[in-house]
Structure 1
Amino acid sequence: MKKYYTFLFLFISYATFAQEDAWVYFNAKPNSQAYYDNPLSMLSQRALDRRSNQNIALDLKDVPIETTYVAQIKGSTGITVMAESKWLNALHIRGTQANINTLKLLSFVSKVDFANKSLNGTGKKAASDKVKATENKLETTVNYSYGNSANQIQMLNGQILHQQDYTGSGKIIAVLDGGFPGVNTASTFQRLRDNNKILGGYNFVSRNPNFYTGVSHGTQVLSTMGGYKENALVGTAPDASYYLFITEDDTSENPVEESLWVEAAEEADRLGADIITTSLGYFGYDNANYSHTYSDMNGTTNFISRGAEIAFSKGMIVVASAGNEGNTVEKHIGAPADAVSVITVGSVTANKTLSSFSSIGPSYDGRIKPDVMAQGSAAVVSSVTGNIGTTNGTSFSCPIMAGAIACLWQAFPNKTNQEIRQMVLKSSDRYASPNIQYGYGIPNFSLALNTILNVRSIKDSEFLVYPNPTDSNLFFAFSEDINEAFVTVYSILGQKVVEKQITNQAPFVSLQELRSGVYFYTLDANDLHKTGKIIKQ
């Protein structure tokens, strides 16, 4: 009996005093008008310009969280505030279940959500890969000596963007990761430093401005975009500017990291960043009660995914790694890769086959995920000392893609984030037939670039077919007064191999299933009849 009562006492003590993580949500922002009257008190001019350029109105999410509410929560018994989010009007807090539940009585609190969902009444898997040592339309203006990094850029036809002087200049990328040691000293980042392309950053984990610390993962990630070492490594956006934010605590796995990520995304927004790239994914936690399940991967459940979606609504593009769980029992993408508007990037090998470790889709609610693919197997990166090596993971296919997107957006600065996102997807080699392993496939940034240039020139030409040769989709451009057309493709022997009705909104046919060789097409639309030859690579 004595042992029983001892056990009972310990159980009650644990239940009473164990620390829990939770989010407390507020129901108002009473001083919002003062911020609307003075927008520069909450956002930089560059952030305001981004909204203006994309016709995005200021709203309550832009207004900072009410400081008196925060102060009252901080003053509550046994409550520690770990993070805060103006977008979600919430605080991430830590305390006992009993103390947290008392906050529900406050008039300005709308709800409390425990990270342990069982208390509501109703893992992160970042790669730990080691660095392995390895030693048209416009005038061409840049030719880089890519060295070993050539394949990961050329797979996306990113070199075509560079050749036309689209190297990320004027675009700002916020990198959210676990640390950036060596970025202030390594030779591979000398070009960024000399050109003042590191705009700043913050360590949200330690709450200090020292972001040149932590694990080397972020350093490697940055090198795939901004690194530069002639004949060895050239990043996909060598002339972009960067903010470096540490949101990942490598010593533990806790949902507070999701909240720190959202804080950093809000800061990226405030500072005027164009793109957020994040090679972090959250699924399992040290406390199994906090871990997500596949059913959470629906784009609306996870705190970080909701934050990522809001980031997109503010005019930024969010690029996230799909995850490295392809060889595990739970193969699906994590968060924020499940968010609807996030460009989720999986990994392929150098010869464009699926990397076995790359997490797959779909999202739990059945959407195509990942969205696109890039090289993540044997990706070329820099170490903290400037040595060039290779490593594996969607952690690297993600920033390789983000850098290329920055260059494309530089080419079309008046496009919205939604338009740029669609351009990337539509240029991908599986756009006509996406699946849960490859998503829409590998983007072709040369096609994305030239599609717009060709469409612009349609007034000077009755009809265009591009790209030719092609290895996947064949696009047709015809005058706007033609709504639809019928395309037939024949083999060299005259056999009909493709028939499809196309429209101005979907003006392409997929040749992906055809063998390499010469084909012929006919297009009929109203009084327009065109024929021609196609080379399928």
Structure 2
Amino acid sequence: MKKLLLLSIVLLQYMSFAQEEHAWVYLSDKENVASSIANPISILTQSAIDRKSAHNIPIDERDVPVNENYITQIKNQTGITVMAKSKWFNAVYVIGLELDIIALEALDFVEYIDFADKSLNADSRVAMFSNKFEIEETLVDFTYGSSQNQIEMIGVDHLHFSDYTGEGIIIAVLDSGFPNVNTMAAFQHLRDNGDLLGGYDFVDRNENVYEFTANEHGTRVLSNMAGFIQDEFVGTAPDASYYLFRTEDTFSEMPVEESYWVEAAERADSLGVHIINSSLGYRVFDNANYNYTPSDMNGNTTFITKGANIANEKGILVVNSAGNSGASSWQTVGAPADASGVFSIGAVDFEGNYAPFSSQGTAIQPTQKPDVVARGAAAAVVNSSNEIINNNGTSFSSPIMAGGIASLWQALPNASHEDIKLYVRMSASQFNTPDFFLGYGIPNLELAREIGLSLSEEQFVRFKVFPNPVTDILNIQIPTSTEATNLKIYNVLGKLVLEKTITKSEIRLDVSSMASGVYMMSFTSDKGSKTFKLIKS
């Protein structure tokens, strides 16, 4: 009996090691780091260098590619398949038997291994399919011109009227594939203008992103930004330029898709992309051992969330759907929308009311989630057959907002990505009373433009604030002492950090306790309001 029991234990251990596992393998160093940074054109395009320079984004070691010799050595190890790589994390994503993956630790350039099944990691070592898209066709008779409501709701029509249609802004769309985009009439305008810049399929490792991959989700998402059918449908940024990246494998749900996403974000950064739209989210996988929990949606746990934060640090404005779990037991905004650096978009209906499926923010997330909302209930989209239909999902409120932001950024070319996010938040319907359902609310992008223009003024008419940048004491001079003026100071995440009522014509304000960084000051009185940027040294 003891022998049989021992044999059973051995067989169970063997079976556990014989199961194919997924893991990230982090590497110790890179080659030619100093010379690559000194000669950035060797690792980045000129567009990427120019974008970083314009917004003071440093070029650093994370921009240097992974050592290909290390990757080759890993590929040559027994039983190992390399699926993806990340220069930002200096890591590769591998699939193999647990013992074969553990054996990689013997390579002197392997720093550490992080299994997707966290119970297998060194510090603890002694399936369920998720539909990320949840597209629901809604039968709606149009009583107005298809996309009119979703465009007017966020004030993009005013930007278009002023000829701000996304021209000069480059958007990378990370999704599941883009069937027929290269032939559809809805994207003829995009192709004729040379604004379809190319793409890559990170799942199948080829450049054909236009094949049908069991899902046309990416085509519908793209239509909300770039689609144009004369007198019938207009996207929110019809004149922006687009890269199309397939990172989602619709045939399975595995953590490797997080690595595909980060690879695509790295490619976008090297190409000088301004905005990423990602209508994707990750919570649970085919292998339940890899599943996340709502508590993991804390803005700093998942691989994709950490990658999205790096993209933000690199100066890319990452726009991501909040998720469609509002009516489920999960409920919480998913990854990478939980990242503090990601602009997360929830959904409302045509009247601006909260859409019950839209995922909600929680107190565990480091910043307000969602950030803002746009129409996602019965949103107008164009399918791969060039038909205008209606779909539900934050998958569509996200690109509606991303395209609107592209048009706004064209109008404010000197603004940084953080500036743009703040202007959009400040323009939203419940900026002063955000909640976990609508975030800061429904933005008015024309108002965001006005806020941005007013912030570009270094001095008000008859109104002075100095020194700026400020270290300790801020001097404020207002034109009259007979009227109370309300001062509010917000950080770049839109959080109120100081409020004061000013009743004198001159005051000295002690700001020494404020952290270094960029803030927005808003002055309001019965005679009007003014907002501008304050830099705390």
* Unmatched tracts of structure 1, length 5 or more: 136-145, 464-478, 489-499, 507-521
Q: Secondary structure at the match of 2:146?
A: helix
- Partners of 1:485 and 1:502 within 8 A in 2: no
CA distance in 2: counterparts of 1:364 and 1:197, whole angstroms = 40
Q: Tell me how far 1:294 sits from its aligned partner.
A: 1.5
Q: Tell me how far 1:50 sits from its aligned partner.
A: 0.7
Q: TM-score, normalised by structure 1?
A: 0.84
Q: Tell me how far 1:329 sits from its aligned partner.
A: 0.6
- Partners of 1:484 and 1:501 within 8 A in 2: no
In structure 1, the residue matched to 2:445 is 445
- 1:464-499 Cα shifts (integer Å, max 9, x gaps): xxxxxxxxxxxxxxx9634999987xxxxxxxxxxx
Deviates more, 1:311-320 or 1:22-31: 22-31
Residue type at the aligned position of 2:416: T
In structure 1, the residue matched to 2:174 is 176
In structure 2, the residue matched to 1:481 is 477
CA distance in 1: counterparts of 2:336 and 2:295, whole angstroms = 14
Residue type at the aligned position of 1:481: Q
CA distance in 2: counterparts of 1:484 and 1:12, whole angstroms = 80
Q: How many residues align?
A: 484
- 1:347-373 Cα shifts (integer Å, max 9, x gaps): 011111110000001263453111110
CA distance in 2: counterparts of 1:64 and 1:351, whole angstroms = 48
Q: Tell me how far 1:531 sits from its aligned partner.
A: 4.1
In structure 1, the residue matched to 2:116 is 115
CA distance in 2: counterparts of 1:105 and 1:167, whole angstroms = 54
Q: 1:141-160 counterparts in 2 under 5 A? A: 147-160=145-158
In structure 2, the residue matched to 1:200 is 198
CA distance in 2: counterparts of 1:189 and 1:529, whole angstroms = 45
The verdict on how the C-alpha distance between 1:301 and 1:483 changes in structure 2, with shifts beyond 3 A counting, is: farther
CA distance in 2: counterparts of 1:244 and 1:486, whole angstroms = 58
- Partners of 1:427 and 1:444 within 8 A in 2: yes
Q: Tell me how far 1:108 sits from its aligned partner.
A: 1.5
The verdict on how the C-alpha distance between 1:523 and 1:149 changes in structure 2, with shifts beyond 3 A counting, is: farther
Residue type at the aligned position of 1:182: N
Q: Secondary structure at the match of 1:147?
A: coil
Q: 1:341-380 counterparts in 2 under 5 A? A: 341-362=341-362, 364-380=364-380
Deviates more, 1:179-188 or 1:83-92: 179-188
Q: 1:386-535 counterparts in 2 under 5 A? A: 386-456=386-456, 461-462=461-462, 481-482=477-478, 501-503=486-488, 524-526=503-505, 531=526
- Partners of 1:362 and 1:370 within 8 A in 2: no
CA distance in 2: counterparts of 1:428 and 1:6, whole angstroms = 65
CA distance in 2: counterparts of 1:397 and 1:165, whole angstroms = 23
Does 2:330 correspond to 1:330?
yes
In structure 2, the residue matched to 1:167 is 165
CA distance in 1: counterparts of 2:345 and 2:295, whole angstroms = 20
Does 2:19 correspond to 1:23?
no
Q: Please report the RMSD computed on the Cα atoms of aligned residues, expressed in angstroms.
A: 2.8
In structure 2, the residue matched to 1:260 is 260
Deviates more, 1:85-94 or 1:429-438: 429-438
Q: Secondary structure at the match of 1:404?
A: helix
Residue type at the aligned position of 1:292: Y
The verdict on how the C-alpha distance between 1:459 and 1:191 changes in structure 2, with shifts beyond 3 A counting, is: same
In structure 1, the residue matched to 2:532 is none
Q: Tell me how far 1:418 sits from its aligned partner.
A: 1.1
Does 2:124 correspond to 1:128?
no
Q: Secondary structure at the match of 1:148?
A: coil
Q: Tell me how far 1:131 sits from its aligned partner.
A: 4.1
In structure 1, the residue matched to 2:307 is 307
The verdict on how the C-alpha distance between 1:400 and 1:43 changes in structure 2, with shifts beyond 3 A counting, is: same
CA distance in 2: counterparts of 1:154 and 1:266, whole angstroms = 33
CA distance in 2: counterparts of 1:529 and 1:370, whole angstroms = 27
- 1:505-528 Cα shifts (integer Å, max 9, x gaps): 69xxxxxxxxxxxxxxx9955289
The verdict on how the C-alpha distance between 1:533 and 1:174 changes in structure 2, with shifts beyond 3 A counting, is: closer
Residue type at the aligned position of 1:313: E
- Partners of 1:31 and 1:66 within 8 A in 2: no
CA distance in 2: counterparts of 1:346 and 1:129, whole angstroms = 15
Does 2:32 correspond to 1:47?
no
Q: TM-score, normalised by structure 2?
A: 0.84
CA distance in 2: counterparts of 1:523 and 1:151, whole angstroms = 41
Residue type at the aligned position of 2:82: V
CA distance in 1: counterparts of 2:481 and 2:487, whole angstroms = 5
Residue type at the aligned position of 2:197: L
CA distance in 2: counterparts of 1:13 and 1:533, whole angstroms = 74
The verdict on how the C-alpha distance between 1:484 and 1:77 changes in structure 2, with shifts beyond 3 A counting, is: farther
Deviates more, 1:409-418 or 1:97-106: 97-106
Does 2:207 correspond to 1:209?
yes
- 1:252-300 Cα shifts (integer Å, max 9, x gaps): 0000000000000111111111000000000000100001112211222
* Unmatched tracts of structure 2, length 5 or more: 464-474, 492-500, 507-522, 530-537
Q: Tell me how far 1:124 sits from its aligned partner.
A: 5.3
Between the two proteins, what is the percent identity of the paired residues? Answer: 47
- Partners of 2:197 and 2:243 within 8 A in 1: yes
The verdict on how the C-alpha distance between 1:458 and 1:52 changes in structure 2, with shifts beyond 3 A counting, is: closer
